[in-house]
Amino acid sequence: MRVTRESLLRIAKETAQERAYNDKDIVAAYLTGSLLNVDPMLGGTADIDIVFVHKTQPKQSHEFVKLTPDFHLDISRRMKEEFKSPRELRGDPWLGYEMYDPILLYEREKFFDFVQASLRAGFDFEQPPLMLQRCRKMLSHGRQIWMDLTEVDEASVGPKEIRKYMKALFHALNAVAELSGPPIHERRLLLEFPARAEAAQQTGLVAGAFALIGANNVDAEKVKGWVADWKSAYTLASEKDGVDPRIDPIRLNYYEKAIKAMLEGAIPLAALWPLFHTWTISVEVLEGDHFKFWQTAAGELGLLGAGFTEKVDGLDHFIDDIEVVFDDIARENGLDVSTGL
């Protein structure tokens, strides 16, 4: 089956119209994510990110729908209430960009035009004051998570703690990414971060980002050797109750083929993020050999025991460095360093 961006866009529109026809609670639907790009494929796979806006609280907030083994719908649902203050959305690091330049798929009432016009008012969305507001908010999330990690006993570090550490790092990297555009989603995080850091003239942060996930301790061949154990853990975890919804059998190829493509690409260790992140989430509900294989990999990345404490300390310095960058940008633009205004 030949799949193109155009055919995926057509599926998105048809899905939105069909769902809205059968559910009068849907006010609007829009497309976000990788399909907004000219080349949304990674390893020959892609998802279709559709957001449905509802009048009332939807019963289900997230849903994956299989189209083929390599393509699926990733459906999110939001309430209309979330968009009641478009001016506040301009400072939101996630929802702001989500609504700034999506593709409208359906609307029952003039919801979309009003929100987007308010969001873009004054053409200052990408100017330093609002840009820094979004960046600082993203970085603040990372700092708050980091503070919790300082209380962790290194002897008890496991999947839960490492997952939290990766969440803090995820926010820190995206705080930098937002200097030059929207946040980067998990599958492409380390793949796109170098270019986004360069666009923001912050290439010095790239080495630190890779070091904080342990990339300086391994090579591509080592990571390739983990793929089979990762896949086994992911597959088993996806069949269990209580696992994070992202560990869904529908998304196996979406991750596996992307990981393998990155390992053969220009930035092979970018594959570490989707592989180790989903592996860590998976083993939270596993034990025995599956846990041991993950534990060995975590140790080699320097994310266990004393290594974890060192990584948390390193993340502290990394966040400090980013804060200095933001302060410098504020000064260069005649803004108050503390408020960005």
Average pLDDT of the chain is: 94
Q: Are residues 12 and 47 in the same domain?
A: yes
Contacts of 334 (CB under 8 A, 6+ apart): none
Once rounded to an integer, what is the mean pLDDT over residues 124-131? 89
Q: Which of helix, strand or coil describes residue 340?
A: coil
Q: Are residues 44 and 110 in the same domain?
A: yes
State how far the Cα of 280 lies from the Cα of 291, in Å rounded to an integer: 9
Checking if the pLDDT of 305 tops 90, the result is yes
Give me the pLDDT at residue 306, please. 96
pLDDT digit string, tens, across residues 253-271: 999 999 999 999 999 999 9
Once rounded to an integer, what is the mean pLDDT over residues 145-155? 95
Provide the CATH number for the domain around residue 59.
Answer: 3.30.460.10
Q: Are residues 187 and 299 in the same domain?
A: yes
201 domain residue, yes or no: yes
Tally of structural domains, the chain? 2
Give me the pLDDT at residue 48, please. 97
pLDDT digit string, tens, across residues 85-123: 877 888 999 999 998 889 999 998 887 888 888 787 766
If one counts every other C-beta atom within 10 angstroms of the C-beta of residue 325, the result is: 19
Query: Given 97, 123, 149, which residue is the final one in a domain?
Result: 123
Checking if the pLDDT of 143 tops 90, the result is yes
Q: Are residues 156 and 305 in the same domain?
A: yes
Checking if the pLDDT of 60 tops 60, the result is yes
Give me the pLDDT at residue 38, please. 79
The partner residues of 104 in beta bridges, in order of sequence, read 30
State how far the Cα of 33 lies from the Cα of 102, in Å rounded to an integer: 8
Give me the pLDDT at residue 123, please. 63
215 domain residue, yes or no: yes
Q: Are residues 68 and 155 in the same domain?
A: no
Answer yes or no: pTM beyond 0.75.
yes
Give me the pLDDT at residue 340, please. 57
Q: Are residues 164 and 203 in the same domain?
A: yes
pLDDT digit string, tens, across residues 18-38: 999 999 999 999 999 999 987
- Alpha helix (H) ranges present in the chain? 5-22, 86-89, 95-100, 112-119, 128-149, 159-177, 189-199, 204-212, 220-224, 227-237, 252-263, 272-283, 289-300, 306-332
pLDDT digit string, tens, across residues 277-293: 999 999 999 999 999 99
pLDDT digit string, tens, across residues 161-198: 999 999 999 999 999 999 999 999 999 999 999 999 99
Q: Are residues 173 and 202 in the same domain?
A: yes
State how far the Cα of 161 lies from the Cα of 73, in Å rounded to an integer: 30
**How far is CA 284 from each of CA 240, 241, 242, 250, 338, rounded to the nearest angstrom?**
11, 12, 10, 19, 39
Q: Are residues 189 and 78 in the same domain?
A: no
Checking if the pLDDT of 46 tops 90, the result is yes
Checking if the pLDDT of 309 tops 70, the result is yes
- Residue 206 domain boundaries: 128-323
Higher pLDDT, 340 or 293: 293
